[in-house]
Structure 1
Amino acid sequence: MKTPRLLDGRLKLRHLVLLDALLRQGSVVGAAAQLHVTQPVATRGLHELEEILGVTLFDRGPRGITPTVYGAAFAEHARAVLAQLTEAGRHIVELADAERGTVIVGTHLAGSNVLLPRAITRIKRDRPYLTVIVREAAPEPLLVELVAGRVDMIVGRLTAASDEQIERRKLYDEFVDLIVRSSHPLAGRTRIDPAELGEYPWILPGAETVLRRELEEFFARNGIPLPANRVETTSFLTVRELLLENDVIAALPSLIARDEPELSRLDVSLEQIGHSVGLTLPARTLSPSAEALIDSLASVAAEMAGEEHR
Structure 2
Amino acid sequence: MEEFDSILSLGTRLKVKHFMLLAALGDSGRVLRAAEILNMTQPAATRLLQEIEDTFEARLFERSRRGVAPTEAGEALITRSKIILHDLTAAKDELSLLSSHPGGIVSVGAFAVATPVLLPLALIETRSRFQNILVIVQEGSNDSLLPALSRGEIDCVIGRMTETIPDTLNWHTLYFEPVRVVCGPQNQMLNDPNILIEDVAGHPWIMPHRAHPFRQQLEARFTVSGLAKPKVILESESLFLNASLLQQTDALALMPLTAAEHLASLGSIGLLDLEFGTTEAPVGIFRREGVEATRPLSSFLEALENTAKQVYGTYNVKNFHED
TM-score in terms of structure 2 length: 0.70
Q: Work out whether residues 18 and 46 of structure 1, in 8 Å CA contact, stay in contact via their aligned partners in 2.
A: no
Distance change (3 Å), C-alpha of 1:38 and 1:18: closer
Partner of 2:233: 229
Report % sequence identity: 23
- Which deviates the most, 49-58 or 238-247? 49-58
C-alpha deviation, 1:145, in angstroms: 1.1
Give the AA of the match of 1:81.
I
User: Which one of the candidate residues 255, 258, 262 is aligned to 2:258?
Assistant: 255
CA distance in structure 2 between the aligned counterparts of 1:205 and 1:153, rounded to whole angstroms: 24
User: Which one of the candidate residues 272, 289, 301 is aligned to 2:296?
Assistant: 289
C-alpha deviation, 1:169, in angstroms: 2.0
User: Which one of the candidate residues 109, 115, 121 is aligned to 2:118?
Assistant: 115
TM-score in terms of structure 1 length: 0.73
CA distance in structure 2 between the aligned counterparts of 1:268 and 1:46, rounded to whole angstroms: 67
Distance change (3 Å), C-alpha of 1:172 and 1:216: closer
Distance change (3 Å), C-alpha of 1:39 and 1:91: closer
The answer to whether structure 1 residue 199 and structure 2 residue 203 are counterparts is: yes
CA distance in structure 1 between the aligned counterparts of 2:24 and 2:97, rounded to whole angstroms: 28
User: Which one of the candidate residues 16, 40, 49 is aligned to 1:13?
Assistant: 16
Partner of 1:69: 72
Partner of 1:148: 151
Q: Work out whether residues 205 and 230 of structure 2, in 8 Å CA contact, stay in contact via their aligned partners in 1.
A: no
Q: What do residues 242-278 of structure 1 show as CA deviations (whole Å, max 9, x unaligned)?
A: 3333333222211112232322223444334422222
User: Which one of the candidate residues 168, 172, 176 is aligned to 1:169?
Assistant: 172
Distance change (3 Å), C-alpha of 1:18 and 1:96: same
Distance change (3 Å), C-alpha of 1:197 and 1:38: farther
Alignment of 1:1-310 (within 5 A): 7=10, 11-17=14-20, 19-20=22-23, 27-28=28-29, 37=37, 45=45, 48-49=48-49, 52-53=52-53, 54-57=58-61, 68-82=71-85, 84-85=87-88, 88-89=91-92, 99-128=102-131, 130-159=133-162, 165-189=168-192, 190-193=194-197, 196-197=200-201, 199-202=203-206, 204-206=207-209, 212-216=212-216, 218-219=218-219, 222-223=222-223, 224-225=228-229, 227-230=231-234, 232-259=235-262, 260-261=264-265, 262=267, 263-282=269-288, 283-306=290-313
Query: Aligned residues, how many?
Result: 295
Give the AA of the match of 2:155.
D
For structure 1, the residue ranges without an aligned partner over 5 or more in a row are: none
Q: Work out whether residues 84 and 284 of structure 1, in 8 Å CA contact, stay in contact via their aligned partners in 2.
A: no
CA distance in structure 1 between the aligned counterparts of 2:303 and 2:205, rounded to whole angstroms: 38
CA distance in structure 1 between the aligned counterparts of 2:251 and 2:42, rounded to whole angstroms: 49
Distance change (3 Å), C-alpha of 1:52 and 1:239: same
- Which deviates the most, 73-82 or 176-185? 73-82
Distance change (3 Å), C-alpha of 1:6 and 1:275: same
CA distance in structure 1 between the aligned counterparts of 2:64 and 2:302, rounded to whole angstroms: 46
Aligned Cα RMSD in Å? 4.3
CA distance in structure 2 between the aligned counterparts of 1:191 and 1:41, rounded to whole angstroms: 74
Q: What do residues 178-211 of structure 1 show as CA deviations (whole Å, max 9, x unaligned)?
A: 2212222443443433584453142x3356xx6x
Q: Work out whether residues 101 and 132 of structure 2, in 8 Å CA contact, stay in contact via their aligned partners in 1.
A: no
Q: What do residues 69-118 of structure 1 show as CA deviations (whole Å, max 9, x unaligned)?
A: 23333244334534554565466567766635321111112222211100
Distance change (3 Å), C-alpha of 1:308 and 1:118: farther
C-alpha deviation, 1:156, in angstroms: 1.3
Q: Work out whether residues 195 and 222 of structure 1, in 8 Å CA contact, stay in contact via their aligned partners in 2.
A: no
C-alpha deviation, 1:120, in angstroms: 0.6
Give the AA of the match of 1:124.
R
Q: Work out whether residues 84 and 149 of structure 1, in 8 Å CA contact, stay in contact via their aligned partners in 2.
A: yes
Q: Work out whether residues 117 and 258 of structure 2, in 8 Å CA contact, stay in contact via their aligned partners in 1.
A: yes
| Rg comparison, structure with higher value | 2
Distance change (3 Å), C-alpha of 1:196 and 1:126: closer
Partner of 2:5: none
For structure 2, the residue ranges without an aligned partner over 5 or more in a row are: 1-7, 317-323
